[in-house]
Amino acid sequence: MQTVAIIASVAATSLASSGLMSVYKINGGYNHDGIGYSKCKYAAKINGGEAKSPAATSPHIQSYRYCGVSAKVFAGGASCGACYNVSYSGEGGTNQSKYNPTPRAGSAVVQVVDDESKDDDSDDFSCHWRVFKTITGGSGEAWQVTGTFPITYTEVACEVQSAVGVATVLDGYNAYYTQVIFSDLPHAVSSAKLKIGKKSFPMDRTAGGATFTANTDGSVGSASFELTLADGSTNKLASCFESWPVSTGSSCTPKAVVESKHCDDKRTYAQCGGYTYKGETCCPKGRGCSFVSAEYSQCSGCAASFGQCGGGPSYNGSTCCSTGFECQAQGTYYSGCVKTNEVNATDGHEVSSSVDIMV
C-alpha cells in the first residue's frame, strides 16, 4: 500500500486565548486506550476501539497529538474534532518534576477528543503525555510527565488524510434511525444532513459529543452526507454507501468528485479546490484533483513509468498513464503504470507524478 502524506494549512481562524495545560488523565499510557472512553467517541469500542477505529484515522490521533479540554472550550461537544495551536512561552509552570526541571518554549497543533471538565475544569487543555512533552520540553515516560503550565491557544485548521472526511456508523441495521460520527476533517462539524436516494434528513448532534443522529422514514437506497464545518465551509460525502441501511461499524471515505469529460485539457496542473477557493473545480479526463493542503488542491498530470494511477477508496490522484504505459492493479490499494506495447488511450503529454505542484 502506498501512503501519501497530506498536510493541511494551520492558518489561524481565531484570536489567541490564555489558559493552563496539564497531562491528559486517562491517556492509557503508550496506547490510545483512553480515547475509547472519551466523549467525542472517535475510538469508541463499538468501532473497534483505540487506533483500529475508522473514526480515529486523523493524523493528530495517530501521532498522539490530542487533548481533553475544559467545558468552556468543549462547548457541549461542538469542539470535538477542532484543532488548536497550543503554545508555551518557556516561563512559569507548577509541579515540575525532575524529568522537566527546566521547561523550554514549544508548541504543537492538537485535536480535541474529550471533555475533561469532569475531572478538573481549571485546566483548559489536558494533553496526551507525548505532545505535552513536545510543548513543554519535558522527558521521561507517561507516569513521569507532570506539571501545569500557562499556555496560549488559537483555533486552526487540522491536518487531514482523506479528501472529504470519513463517516462511521455507530448505530446501524436500522432504516428508521441511525447514529454517525464524522472525522478526519479540517474543522469541527457544525451541522449534518443524511441523504438517502432523493430524500434528505436533518441530523442532530448528540448532547456532549461528536456523533449525529437522524430519524428516517424507512427509506432505502444509496446514502450520502452533507456537512457544514465550523468555518462555514461545506463537505459533501457523495455516494458514501451504495445501499442503506448499513451495519454498525460501517465506514466510508469518499473521493473528491472533480473529474469531467468536458473539462479543458489546459487545466492540467490548475487549482481545483481549497477551503477558500471559489473557482473552477473540474480536471481533464483521467486527471485527479490531488489534495495538497487545506487551502490548495491541484489537477494532476498522467503518471509516468511506475507511477501510481489508482488505489483504494481514499485515492484521488491521476488515473491515466503517459504514452507507452498502461495502468495495472497491483493490489487492492495500489495500481501502477507499467510498460506496454500498446499506446495508452490518453494523450500522454504529461510525464510527471500526481504529487507534482506547478503554480
DSSP state of 3: -
Structural contact between residues 80 and 144, judged by C-beta atoms closer than 8 angstroms: no
Q: What one-letter code names the amino acid at 292?
A: V
Alpha-carbon distance values, 306 to 237, 312, 331 (Å): 30, 17, 14
Q: How many residues does the chain have?
A: 359
CA dihedral 339, 340, 343, 347 (to 10 degrees): -30
Question: Where is 199: in which H helix or E strand?
Answer: strand 199-205
Structural contact between residues 53 and 44, judged by C-beta atoms closer than 8 angstroms: yes
Sheet arrangement for strand 234-241: 234-241, 223-229, 189-196, 199-205, 211-215, 177-183, 166-171, 251-252
Cell of 96: 515540575
pLDDT digits (tens, 9 = 90+) for 55-82: 888 889 888 899 989 999 999 999 999 9
Rounded to an integer, what distance in angstroms lies between the CA atom of residue 204 and that of residue 212? 5
Outline where DSSP puts E strands in 217-355. Answer: 223-229, 234-241, 251-252, 271-273, 289-293, 296-299, 308-311, 325-329, 334-339
Give the per-residue pLDDT at 1: 30
Closest CA to 134 of 118, 161, 125: 125
Alpha-carbon distance values, 323 to 171, 262, 304, 319 (Å): 48, 21, 8, 13
Residues of the chain with pLDDT under 70: 1-14, 25-34, 45-51, 95-102, 118-122, 140-144, 255-262, 274-276, 291, 293-294, 312-317, 332-333, 341-359
Give Cβ neighbours of residue 99 (< 8 Å, ≥ 6 apart). 138, 139, 140, 144, 145
Alpha-carbon distance values, 143 to 24, 25, 139 (Å): 11, 11, 11
Rounded to the nearest 5 degrees, what angle is found at the Cα of 312, between the Cα atoms of 310 and 314?
Answer: 100
Rounded to an integer, what distance in angstroms lies between the CA atom of residue 222 and that of residue 11? 36
Rounded to an integer, what distance in angstroms lies between the CA atom of residue 337 and that of residue 153? 46
Cell of 123: 485546566
pLDDT digits (tens, 9 = 90+) for 247-298: 888 899 876 543 334 678 788 788 877 656 777 777 777 777 776 766 777 8
Go through the domains of the chain in sequence order and give each one's CATH number: 17-156 (2.40.40.10), 166-252 (2.60.40.760), 265-339 (2.10.80)
Give the per-residue pLDDT at 156: 93
Q: Look at the alpha carbons of 210, 48, 29, 89 in this order and tell me if their dihedral is positive or negative.
A: negative
DSSP state of 334: E
Question: Where is 194: in which H helix or E strand?
Answer: strand 189-196
Give the per-residue pLDDT at 245: 92
165: left (phi over 0), alpha (psi -120 to 50) or beta: left
Give the per-residue pLDDT at 100: 57
Q: What is the reported pTM?
A: 0.67
Structural contact between residues 259 and 282, judged by C-beta atoms closer than 8 angstroms: yes
